[in-house]
Structure formats: structure tokens, C-alpha cells
Amino acid sequence: MYKVMIADDEPLFRYYMRSKLDWSGHGFTICCEAANGREALEEAKRYLPDLALIDISMPYMNGLELAEKLKVNVPGLLIVFVTGHNEFEYAQKAVRLGVHDYLLKPFDQREFTAMMGKVRETLRRRDEATLLKRETGWNEGTSRSMEEQATQKVRALFNESSESFEQGAAPVRHELHPGTHETLLMALKMRDHEAAADEIGRTLALFRLRGAGDRFAFTVLMSYVSLCLSHAGEIGMNPESLWAPAASPEQRLRGMASWEEAEDWIAGMYDKVIGYRPDARPSKSYNLFLAAKGYIHRHYSDPELTVDQVASGMYVDSSYLRKVFRKEGAIAVLDYITYTRMKRAKELLADGNVKLAEIAERVGYADPNYFSKSFKKHYGIPPSEFEQREIRIRHTGE
């Protein structure tokens, strides 16, 4: 049995994690709990868990700080953030810290099972690697040599020296949208091919334009790949088919010869996952889902648009429409209305020369201030800052 530590400042959530999930069925057992980051660090040193489930917002020491210290004090530990913070900033930091995965509260049994399957496989490979090191007399010098070889392979794609990471990453990091992960996740859930392709294309265009450092670019692109593969597993798709014939998605990305090839592969992966359906024939609920999305696209500018209005337009009961959206897109109808409005607002802001009040009105918000708050909540930055970023990028590319 692998050992698990749970670190969360909410007693009820720790109880739920401890008593309502089938740990033994996945080959795990809970060895310790902690209510804050400081306590979690001490418990981890004492019990040496294989897996740590950590909340980001905790007293005394937050999850990000704890992850950094755990990486030093408990070698080989896998870390998964279990948090309500669905923001790119946190996901990006987590990837750079070497965090294995993250679950967003509230998560369902399917998401938990998919995550635990990946964790168990990673721990299995870790144990095999440890055994191989013992049998072959592996040493630190060998490790450095292998790491240098891997780094050179990455630079074959990014064509950067090691110094360029610090020089090139900073401007790109500030121009990447904080809401990119949220946008891509919504594109996957809502089967929005265009939104996924646009977001991936924008990131790759920035890397080409700015000359991003190799490690930073690889980290960002792998976070996009991981998000897609995780969703593929959740919907019952075989993720391995998306990176074959390479041995792993990391190896496939490292083998890319150009930015264009990387963009084609990642965008193509999202396209396959978005278009995946276990049954070849679309179901009645799926057709209704598509029709309701179309209705929302035609009426999102109406500030009075409601779930009841959409349901009436589809000639179905509103409760049934809500169930269909949960089934086909894992999202609430109102959330999709907001998603559609925010997506169009982003397009209008990127075009420039449109007043904020006009944009708010065109996407269904009577109050510009409320629109600004909604935009910042959705993408992590206010609309004015988003527009200025787009202006700087356009001017640099001219």
C-alpha cells in the first residue's frame, strides 16, 4: 500500500477525503492529516508519505510554499493540489514546482479515479527506476549526463541557450492570459474547437514572437498537454493514442522540430478529444445540447437571457435542459451563457478601438462595472489590462 497525507484546513473536507473515498481500492492508505502547512511539513517528515493531497489556501504556510519545502525534505513524494482556485497562475506555479496534478473542488468520483490511476502509475515507475538504479550502480554523475542530454533535445525545438530562460521568459509570462487553463478546460467541456485552437495558437505565436526560454515554454506547453490528457481519461478516451508512437507525451513534445509542429500536435490533440464520442451516432441529448448552444450564441447579447428562456426556445423543461448540460458538457447552463459572453468580450477587446461600455452592452451586460468584475473573475485580469496586453503584442509584431 502507498501512503497518503491529506493537508487541508477544512475539517469537514478532511473527513470527506478520509472516509468517503475508496483509498484501499486504489492501493493507498492514509498515514497522516494536517490542518495547516506547518503541521503538514512536520507530518510528512515523520511519516514519509508517497502522495500528498494539499489545499493551496492554508494558514501559516500555503500550499505553494509547502510544496517547495516538501520537494526538498521528502524526495520522491508526489504532490496533488486539491483546491478551489481554478486560475492559470496557480496551475503554472504548480507545474514549475513539480506538482504532479491538481483536482478542483468539487470533484466527482470519476475525476478522483482518473487522477489516482495516474498517480499509481507514476509511483510504479518510480519504484522500478529505484530498483534499476540499485541493480545498475546508477550515480549522480549519470543523472546529470542524462539530464543534459534531455535538455539538449528540448533546445532542439526551442533553439535557446540556458541563459535565455531568464531573459526570454519574463515578457512572455506577463503576456500569457491568466485564464488560459480555464479557457482550455471550458473548450474541452463545451466541445469548442475554435476556442481551443485560438488559445493554443496565441501562446505559440507569443513564443515565436518573444523567443521564450526553453524550460519556460516546455513547462507551459506540457501543462496544456496534461490538461487535455486528463480530460481525455475522464471521458473514457485512451490518452496513449494521443502521443503514440512516442513513449510518453513529454518525449513526443521534445521531438518537435519547430513551433509550427508543436502547435499542430497540441491543437490536433485538443481537436481529437473535443470530437471524441464513445458512440458513433449522436444521442438525442447531445443534439439538444448543440441546439441549445446555438440558441445561446444567437441571444447572448440579451441581458435578460435566462435558463428558462433557452429551455423555452428548445421546447423542453428547464430542469431537463440543466441535466443535459451537466451530462454533455459538465457545466451549468448559466455558466455556459457567461462563457459565451466572456469569449466574445475577449475578441472585441483584442480587436481594440471599442469602448468598454459598448462591449459590455454587446455581450449582454447593462452595467459596465459589473461586466468588468465578471471579466476579471473569469480571466484573472480586468478588461482594460487585457486590452493593453493585446495592443503591446500587436505593436511588437508589426
E-assigned strands of 70-165? 78-83, 101-104
β-bridge partners, 154: none
* Residue where one domain finishes, among candidates 116, 134, 152: 134
In three-state secondary structure terms, 35 is coil
| 59 preceded by a cis bond (ω within 30 of 0) | no
Question: What sign does the CA torsion over 32, 80, 88, 11 have?
Answer: negative
Q: Are residues 32 and 82 in the same domain?
A: yes
Name the domain boundary from 275, 310, 340. 275
Q: Which domain holds residue 72?
A: 2-134
Cα angle vertex 391, ends 390, 397, to 5°? 90
Q: What is the CATH number of the domain that holds 308?
A: 1.10.10.60
- The total of structural domains in the chain comes to 3
Secondary structure (3-state) at 106: coil
Residues 289 and 176 in one domain: no
Give 386's DSSP letter: H
165 and 226, same domain (yes or no): yes
Q: Read off the CATH number of the domain in which 130 is found.
A: 3.40.50.2300
Amino acid letter for position 267: A
pLDDT tens per residue across span 73-129 = 888 888 888 876 554 455 555 655 566 777 777 677 777 888 888 888 888 877 776
352 pLDDT exceeds 70? Answer: yes
Same domain, 256 and 334: no
Whole-number pLDDT of residue 308: 94
Mean pLDDT of the chain: 79
DSSP string covering 315-337: TS-HHHHHHHHHHHHSS-HHHHH
User: CA dist 44 to 4, 33, 51, Å?
Assistant: 9, 9, 10
Inter-residue contact 209 to 168 (CB < 8 Å): no
pLDDT tens for 296-335 read 999 999 999 999 999 999 999 999 999 998 888 777 898 8
Residues 147 and 245 in one domain: yes
What is the Cα–Cα distance from 242 to 200, expressed in whole angstroms?
A: 17
Whole-number Å distance between alpha carbons of 239 and 230 = 8
> φ and ψ at 93, to 5 degrees?
-60, -40
Residue 158 sits in the same domain as residue 111? no
Cβ-based neighbours of 199, under 8 Å, separated by 6 or more: 177, 180, 183, 184, 187
Do 127 and 148 have their domain in common? no
Count Cα atoms within 13 angstroms, Cβ side, for 96: 15
* Spatial CA neighbour of 277 closest among 207, 329, 216, 204: 329
Helix %, strand %, coil % of the chain (to 5):
65, 5, 25
Q: How does residue 41 score in pLDDT terms, banded at 50, 70 and 90?
A: very high
* 219 & 245 share domain: yes
Both 204 and 314 in one domain: the answer is no
Note whether 116 and 163 are same-domain residues: no
367-394 residue pLDDT tens: 999 999 888 877 777 898 888 877 766 6
Domain boundary among 73, 102, 134: 134
Name which residue leads in pLDDT, 308 or 152.
Answer: 308
15 and 62 inside one domain: yes
Strand bridging mode 78-83 / 101-104: parallel
Asked if residue 225 and residue 203 are part of one domain, the reply reads yes
